[in-house]
Every structure is written in structure tokens, then in C-alpha cells.
């Protein structure tokens, strides 16, 4: 196999069987990053030297290592997941130059499975955003149209996989931050059940919502990464003590006759015509493969966005209080006459955080403040329970719930920068899975009239990722969009993209 054609984990395994080395594979992907990422800006940091050293160590194990299911597979890691010896900044000035002394559990497990970390990917600051424009390093571009956003907050990871700069990548998903960029970039993005994957080493945004998950070009690749990193972790009290099923079997054994619920009532307004058409075609494809499609009611789904934007900022306000300039990372310089503790706190947080992070801290602090806690935060938690009850009722009848991942396809860079509310309502179909803790996957399901990707979202029962993977694998057979890399014909030519 020509190394220039490597795209998936299966391709990497085939190349190693054909005589390539892990160093060869790593060198190929590092070369792609060096050649293409100057324009795309998917990476905040490339780890060429440690990656090649790691690949060389793997080569000494030989090509057949059954205990290393990800042998030699390059992986990109979102820059809010700790990596020992590599910068982890959450794309924020307040963590500029921070190098963790430890690996996140997911990084430990993936490297133990043979993966090679090739770099840290760009994201919205502290994962707060849906465009990857809220980053101190600047925006990432969508590989399908460099004038457009890649989605967020895990836009760098999604763009890297879509552009074939890494076969797989890690992201985090608090309100849709894996699935939305997966949809915008035309790849697979999986948010596991809350507690399925350890959050130890993830820089917290909203602790009851955050979950780490994989990006890949195929369902099988997402399953392989999930298999390697899932399972209980004594260092994370929120990780579930639940056995990890054979995720690979779910991807390898397509589920062709599931019962799938579609909440048609919530899709009647606010969905772009191109997205609606692609979703309808996807539903027809599900029927063609043998699925039974029924209407389901999610009466409280309309409250998901306001509920999310109370719960998530409230938890962010608490979590980000630790960034105060005292213990590590950025500290604002002060004149000797102004060098009081309160002034240091104030200036460090004012200068270290970007506008979107400060906006959400203020929203959360208000929701938790005396006199407003019951009216906002407590009420949001009560509605959160009602949303979960809706899904529990639906799963008495269906194996999965299907809807578009996003109401629109990717929009232009800067188009919504001054309208945060318009960005927030883009989470209308994704936030529920985080509020309920349910697993969800976004699958590429077509293109709109501008040639931009559309995502199909499937939401499943808690700890039943295998069913989602099985349905996704069956759908992938009907609509193999992943085989089509971004093309020059999609959207605006690169030389017409606006400067950032």
C-alpha cells in the first residue's frame, strides 16, 4: 500500500503488514501536517520528535503485537486533554506554556494500545464555543471550504481527521463539541455515555456534562479508539464501574433491522433546507437497509438549549475559579504600587480569559448567586430530569433516536462572531445527549447545495454504544460518504478564503 493513501486505522494496519514501519507511517502523517496545516491550522502543537521516538520504540516490538490493537496509529489530541511533556493550553492565554507532568487516562490507555500522539489540536478556549474561532491561536478552517468554520469546540480534531492529517483524533463533548464539528467536517464523531470514558486529565468545563470521545473516518475507527480508552478509572469518581463491551464487534456486525425513532415535531422549524433534505434521504436509507422508523415525542426537547446554557456556565464558573494566577500558568504583571492580591486576581483573569469564557463565567456566576439559584440553576436541573424522562419513554419503543446533528451546515468564519445567541441555538439537537448522559454519534449523511457536509445523529440508551455502532456501520454501507476526501470543488477555492 502506498503510504500517501493512508487514511484509516485499517489502512495503517495493512501498511504495517505489507512491510512499512511505524516510523514510516508517523513520518507520512507528520509530513502531511507540515505541508497542509499552515493554512488549515488544525494543530496548536506538533509533537514530531517524541512521536518519531515513540514510533521507533514500537517498531522494536515488531508488526504483530496482539496486545497493541492501535500499533503505530497516529492520533491527534484536543488541547484540553493533558499530555505529559507536551503543551496543554485549552487554546487559552491563561494556560500559555503549561506542560502537564502527567497524561490523561485516555492518553495513557491509547498509548498503551500502541497509538502515537502526533500533536495537540486547536479548540475553542476551554471548549466554550462551536466554531473554533474562540482560540488564542486563531481560528481553524474547514477542510471542505476554508472560508467556513469547522465547528467546535473540537474543530481542530475534526478538521485534522477530515483533511487526512491523522487517522483518528480525540475531542471533548459538553453540548455537542464532538458531534457538531464531525457533522461540519463530514466525518464520524462519537460522544460516549457519561462515565464510560475517564475524564481524569481533561481540563474541566462543565463536570456533569463533559465527556471525551473519538473522531474517525469510519465507524470502525471510532469503535477501535473507544474500545482502547473506555472503562472505569479509580482516579475519576464519575467514571462508571461498568464492563466495556466489544465495541469492535458492534462496528463489524451491522445492525440492519433496528427500530429508530424520529422526533418529527421538533424538526419542523429552524432546519435549513439542505440539512432537511439530506436527513430525509438518510431516513430513507435507514428504511432501505431494513430499519423500522417510527415517530417519537420529545416534548421537553425545546428546553434543552436554555437548560444547557444555565447548567454549563454555572459549572464553568466553579471550575474556572482555579485559574487565578497563583499556582501555575499565566499571571498578569503588576506595578509595585498596584501589587495587591485582589488586583492580581482581577487582572490575571481579565487578561487571561477571552470574551466568550468571561461571558459564560458571568452567566454561571449569576445563575448560582443568592436569590437566583432556585429560579435558574435548580429549575434547570428539574427540566434536565424531564428531558431524560422523555428519552427513557422513547427507548421503551426504539433502539435509537435519529435527528440531524445540526440545523445548518458550516457557516462562514466571522459570520456569527457578534451574535452568541445564534451560536447557542445551534446546539438544539446535540445538548440533550449531554444533559441526559446518553451516548450519541454523528455520521456523515450527504452534502447541501454548496457541497458542505451534513450530519446524521443517532442517540442511544445509556451504555449501549454497541447498538449505535451497529446501526452506524449498517448505514455506512448504504452511504459511504467517508470515502470522499474534501475536494477543491466544495465551496470557495482556498486562495479566495479571507485572511484571519
Q: Which residues are catalytic?
A: 78, 153, 177
Query: Which residue shows C-alpha cell 517524541?
Result: 50
- Residue-level length of the chain: 500
The C-alpha cell at 493 is 477555492
Residue 291: how many CA atoms within 13 Å on its side-chain side?
Answer: 30
Query: Which residue shows C-alpha cell 461571558?
Result: 359
What share of residues in the chain are helix, strand, coil (percent, to 5)?
45, 15, 45
Q: How far apart are CA 153 and CA 275, in angstroms?
A: 21
Nearest to 110 by CA among 68, 160, 55: 68
The C-alpha cell at 274 is 439542505
The Cα angle at residue 98 between residues 323 and 206, in degrees rounded to 5:
45
The Cα angle at residue 108 between residues 107 and 111, in degrees rounded to 5:
80
Nearest to 450 by CA among 487, 495, 421: 487
Query: Which residue shows C-alpha cell 458542505?
Result: 452
Q: How far apart are CA 439 and CA 447, in angstroms?
A: 25
Prior bond of 120 cis (ω within 30°): no
Amino acid at each position: 500500500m502506498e503510504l500517501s493513501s493512508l487514511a484509516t486505522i485499517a489502512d495503517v494496519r495493512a501498511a504495517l503488514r505489507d512491510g512499512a514501519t511505524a516510523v514510516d507511517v508517523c513520518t507520512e502523517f507528520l509530513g502531511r501536517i507540515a505541508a497542509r496545516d499552515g493554512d488549515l491550522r488544525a494543530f496548536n502543537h506538533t509533537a514530531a520528535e517524541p512521536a518519531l521516538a515513540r514510533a521507533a520504540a514500537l517498531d522494536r516490538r515488531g508488526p504483530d503485537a496482539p496486545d497493541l490493537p492501535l500499533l503505530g496509529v497516529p492520533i491527534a489530541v484536543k488541547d484540553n486533554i493533558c499530555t505529559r511533556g507536551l503543551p496543554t493550553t485549552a487554546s487559552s492565554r491563561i494556560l500559555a506554556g503549561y506542560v502537564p507532568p502527567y497524561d490523561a487516562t485516555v492518553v495513557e490507555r491509547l498509548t498503551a494500545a500502541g497509538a502515537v500522539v502526533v500533536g495537540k489540536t486547536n479548540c475553542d478556549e476551554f471548549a466554550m464555543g462551536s466554531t473554533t474561532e474562540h482560540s488564542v491561536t486563531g481560528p481553524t478552517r474547514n477542510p471542505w471550504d476554508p472560508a467556513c468554520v469547522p465547528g467546535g469546540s473540537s474543530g481542530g480534531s475534526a478538521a485534522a481527521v477530515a483533511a487526512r492529517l491523522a487517522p483518528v483524533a480525540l475531542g471533548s463533548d459538553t453540548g455537542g463539541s464532538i458531534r457538531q464539528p464531525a457533522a461540519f467536517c463530514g466525518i464520524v464523531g462519537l460522544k460516549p455515555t457519561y462515565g464510560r470514558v475517564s475524564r481524569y486529565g481533561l481540563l474541566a468545563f462543565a463536570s456533569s456534562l463533559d465527556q471525551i470521545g473519538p473522531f474517525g473516518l469510519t465507524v470502525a475507527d471510532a469503535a477501535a479508539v473507544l474500545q482502547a480508552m473506555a472503562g472505569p478509572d479509580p482516579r475519576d469518581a464519575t467514571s462508571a464501574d461498568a464492563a466495556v463491551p466489544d465495541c469492535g464487534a458492534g462496528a463489524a456486525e451491522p445492525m440492519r433491522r433496528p427500530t429508530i425513532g424520529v422526533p418529527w415535531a421538533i424538526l419542523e422549524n429552524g432546519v435549513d433546507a439542505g440539512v432537511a433534505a439530506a436527513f430525509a434521504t438518510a431516513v430513507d436509507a435507514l428504511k432501505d437497509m431494513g430499519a423500522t422508523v417510527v415517530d417519537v415525542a420529545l416534548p421537553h426537547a425545546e428546553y434543552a438549549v436554555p437548560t444547557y446554557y444555565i447548567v454549563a456556565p454555572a459549572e464553568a464558573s466553579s471550575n474556572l475559579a482555579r485559574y487565578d494566577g497563583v499556582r501555575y500558568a499565566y499571571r498578569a504583571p503588576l506595578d509595585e504600587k498596584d501589587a495587591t492580591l485582589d488586583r492580581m486576581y482581577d487582572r490575571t483573569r481579565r487578561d487571561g480569559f477571552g470574551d466568550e469564557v468571561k461571558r459564560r463565567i458571568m452567566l454561571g456566576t449569576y445563575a448560582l448567586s443568592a436569590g437566583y439559584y432556585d429560579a435558574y440553576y435548580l429549575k434547570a436541573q428539574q427540566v434536565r430530569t424531564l428531558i431524560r424522562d422523555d428519552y427513557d419513554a422513547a427507548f421503551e419503543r426504539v433502539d435509537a433516536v435519529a435527528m440531524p446533528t445540526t440545523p445548518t451546515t458550516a457557516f462562514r468564519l466571522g459570520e456569527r462572531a457578534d451574535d452568541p445567541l445564534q451560536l447557542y441555538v445551534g446546539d438544539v439537537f446535540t445538548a440533550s445527549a449531554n444533559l441526559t448522559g446518553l451516548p450519541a454519534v454523528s455520521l456523515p449523511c450527504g452534502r447541501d447545495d454548496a457541497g458542505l457536509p451534513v450530519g446524521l445523529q443517532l442517540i442511544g440508551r445509556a451504555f449501549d454504544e454497541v447498538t449505535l455502532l451497529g446501526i452506524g456501520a449498517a448505514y455506512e454501507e448504504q452511504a459511504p460518504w467517508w470515502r470522499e476526501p474534501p475536494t477543491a470543488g466544495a465551496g470557495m477555492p482556498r486562495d479566495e478564503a479571507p485572511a484571519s
